Copies of this chain bind each other. A is one copy, B any other.
Amino acid sequence: MESSVRVKLLTFTPTPDDVVAAAARLCYSPSTAEDLVVEFREGKRQSGLFIRKLINSGHLSPLEHASFTFAVDGISRACSHQLVRHRIASYSQQSQRYVSMDEARYILPDSVKVDARALSIFKEAIRYAHEAYKSLVESGIPLEDARYLLPNAWETRIVVTMNARELHHFFSLRLCKRAQWEIRRLAKLMLTEVRGVAGGIFDIAGPSCITKGKCEEVNPCGEPYGSMEELLN
C-alpha cells in the first residue's frame, strides 16, 4: 500500500517566540530573564520584530531555547537515513529489528507514479521483496535479518525533536529545490506546523533565495522561490 508523509507537531516549548526573545535580550540587559519573559508575554515588547533582528544579525543561539517535537509517519527509510544525518536533533525510530512488517507499506516516487511501465515494475518489485521477507520470517530467520530484503522505499515512523536554530538550518538545506523531493515534502510540512505556533521565529525560513533574497548555491536550480507563499504552496 502506498503511504504518504504525515507530520504532527506532538509538543513544543510554550510561547516559543517570547522565550527566545527574552533569552536574547538578557545578554544586553540588566533585568532578570523572568521579568523579560513577562514583558514579552504581556505584549509590552513585541517578540516578532525583535526576533527578526536577531536572525538578520546572525545572533542565532537564543533560538535554541525553543524545541519542537514532531511525529512523522509515512516516510521511506531512504528519507529517514537522510533525516538522521542532522546530528543536532533527537530521534526515536520504529525498529525493523523488533516490529514485524506484516503489511507492505512503501513510498512511491512521483517519477515512477506517472510512468505506467515503471509503476508496474516498482509495485511488482515491492511485492516480490515483501513475499521473500515473509518467507524468510516463516522459515525462522530473525526479523532483524529478514529485513535485509526490505527496500529503501519501505515506510518508517520516527519522532524528531529539533530546536528552532537547527530547524532553520534544516529548512535552509532541505527546502531548497535541489534537495531530494521526499525530504523537501517532509520539511515543508514541518515548517507549516511550526509557523502555526511560532510565527515570529519562522516568519521567514528556507533556502537562501527566500532568506537572503538571492541564491547562494554554486549550481543554482534556476527557479528561485519568490516568496514564502510560493514556498509553502
Contact = CB atoms under 8 A, between A and B. Distances in A.
Q: Report the interface size class on chain A.
A: 35 or more
Interface stretch (A142-150, A186-194, A198-206, A225-233): A142-150
Contacts of A76: 148
B13 A11 contact: yes
B122 A132 contact: yes
Given A28-B98, A139-B117, A163-B90, A152 B150 contact: yes
A129 interface: yes
A112 to B, nearest CB: 6
A78 interface: yes
A69 B77 contact: no
A93 B81 CA distance: 11
**Identical copies in the complex:** 4
A contacts with B: majority SS? mixed
Interface string A203-233: 0000000000000111100000000000000
When A and B form their complex, which 6 residue pairs have the shortest distance between CB atoms, in order from nearest? A64-B90, A33-B71, A125-B132, A148-B153, A109-B145, A87-B87
Interface of A: 8, 10-15, 19, 22-24, 26-30, 32-34, 37, 53, 56-58, 61-62, 64-65, 67, 69, 71-73, 76-78, 80-81, 84-85, 87-88, 90-100, 106-109, 111-112, 115, 117-118, 121-122, 124-126, 128-129, 132-133, 135-136, 139-142, 144-145, 147-153, 157-159, 161, 163, 180, 216-219
